[in-house]
Amino acid sequence: MSSATEPLRALLLESIHSDAVASLEKNGYAVELLDRALDEDELIARIPGVHLLGIRSKTTITDAVLAAAPDLLAVGAFCIGTNQIDLSAAAQRGVAVFNAPFSNTRSVVELVVAEIIALTRRLTEKNSALHAGVWDKSAEGAHEVRGRRLGIVGYGNIGSQLSVLAENLGMSVFFYDTADKLALGNARRCASMEELLSVSDVVTLHVDGRPGNSGLFGEAEFNRMRPGSLFLNLSRGFVVDHGALRRHIESGHLAGAAIDVFPQEPKGRGDEFVSELRGLPNVIITPHIGGSTEEAQQDIGQFVSGKMQDFVATGNTALSVNLPAVSLPAPVTGHRLTHLHRNTPGVLATINGILAEHDVNIEGQLLGTRGEIGYVITDIGTQYTTDVLEQLRALPNTVRLRLLS
């Protein structure tokens, strides 16, 4: 930890919104901001002495990175997904991870709706032709979205909100999800992916980044789609076989596609983008901007930076994605101990026994567990000795002990 005269350090990567920087600096953090991702070696070189790390989707946090960061207290994923972070390794080192599961939902949904309309009206081809000086006012191949059937794969926060907006546009909505989800409005649940593909004019993917979704959509799934249908992916790049998608576009089996995420993406602005999908007609490719609106990025910047700072100041872990959710109102007087430990029977009794032996009064306490990890916040009186802290740190199950004044 920094001394009383040295500010805590925050490293923010991938052009995180200025509101996050302003919030951290206002509360005394020294902030370093980079506009690109760092690979593992670069991050290992930069992270010693860093207390808060902010990333988006292109930076990978491995156990090796965490091992190089003994001062690191929290990682903020300024996005929805956290599959780029070794969550278990972070928990085992006492590092809390926070994300923004809802902040950019509306931005992604609006882009999906815009792309469905653009593809259905073949606006990409009309736009390209007119820029080339070719006037083509034909209605051939252009349709309304009203009355068309939308198939949503993944009915989480984004998929369900898209379902509502699509119905308001007059579309019939079908969805498939491996988990039981309540249908909104008149949406109809499909029993299988195959059923959804057989009935949908437009298929859009909104699945999470778990490893099991790798290669989810390939040659077999494209073959099952209806001739002349449209395909969209704004979820994760590795879930789709782009070679298969190109073949089905070129053969005319699919009428168009919109892709916002790719298996390999450039690290920063201006780097060359390489993809099998470049140059295809009626294919919209965008540089992973589903959640990149000023409104969404501002909300994410405020939300995630606030969660990290609250954890540092109070120890509260509400909405952490890797630690037990424990929140206790800030004490009026005294001190706060936060003790992260391996979840085995008797740890709380041992902690309280040590406090009792040293006549330390417990004024408030809350314990939570999550798998192999336990986390307890204890508010104590103003009187304690360094022996108390030393004994708590020396417990065989202790992962991390912090004293908050």
The active-site residue, picked from 265, 363, 400, 402, is: 265
Closest Cα partner for 365 from 343, 381, 380, 382? 380
User: Is 132:80 a contact under the CB 8 Å cutoff?
Assistant: no
Is residue 144 flagged as an active site residue? no
Query: Which residue, chain included where needed, has tokens 């699945």?
Result: 207
Q: Which two tokens stand for residue 130?
A: 């007119």
CA distance 165 to 114: 11
Label the pairing between strands 52-55 and 74-77: parallel
Total residues belonging to the chain: 405
User: Is 244:218 a contact under the CB 8 Å cutoff?
Assistant: yes
User: Is 47:53 a contact under the CB 8 Å cutoff?
Assistant: yes
Query: Which residue, chain included where needed, has tokens 């999908």?
Result: 277
Closest Cα partner for 241 from 266, 279, 280, 213? 213
Is residue 14 flagged as an active site residue? no
Label the pairing between strands 398-404 and 30-33: unpaired
CA distance 394 to 385: 15
CA distance 106 to 83: 21
The active-site residue, picked from 56, 206, 226, 236, is: 236
Q: Which two tokens stand for residue 1?
A: 């930890």
Is residue 188 flagged as an active site residue? no
The active-site residue, picked from 17, 288, 339, 341, is: 288
Q: Give the residue numbers annotated as catalytic, written as ranges.
A: 236, 265, 288
